[in-house]
Amino acid sequence: SQQGEEDPQALSIQEGENATMNCSYKTSINNLQWYRQNSGRGLVHLILIRSNEREKHSGRLRVTLDTSKKSSSLLITASRAADTASYFCATPSGGYQKVTFGTGTKLQVIP
């Protein structure tokens, strides 16, 4: 079963707008990762946030983690057409030997 569920399933925005996607998970975690997948390609790691961090930034990415609500959000600011991709959260499932990926949010940025 999926540990993480992303919301929304699909998102379409204009270039320059901000994009926010959310991930909810079921069990307590030590960290959460976000990955990006361009169409027809493998996943690329974006950022990892630990359970003792509430917010983390990397370039135009801002990730938050609310362990009390078991949820995380990924914000992409000033989106570009090149941000068009699917975004997945990944949570540990079995110590540090396995992660479970969510079903993903498909983001389309319209030029």
Instruction: Tell which one of 16, 17, 98, 110 touches other proteins (CB under 8 A).
Output: 98
Q: Tell me which stretch binds other proteins (CB under 8 A): 16-24, 27-35, 57-65, 71-79.
A: 27-35
Tell whether residue 43 is a contact of other proteins (CB under 8 A): yes
Instruction: Give burial (CB, 10 Å; 0-12/13-18/19+) of 62.
Output: middle
Contact (Cβ atoms closer than 8 angstroms) between residue 50 and residue 66: no
| Binding residue for other proteins, selected from 2, 27, 28, 58, defined by CB under 8 A | 2
* Out of 21, 63, 104, 109, the residue judged to bind other proteins by CB under 8 A: 104
**99 part of the interface to other proteins, by CB under 8 A:** yes
Beta bridge partners of 78: none
- Residues whose CB falls within 8 Å of the CB of residue 30, separated by 6 or more in sequence, listed in order: 50, 51, 92
Residue 58 within binding range of other proteins, rule CB under 8 A: no
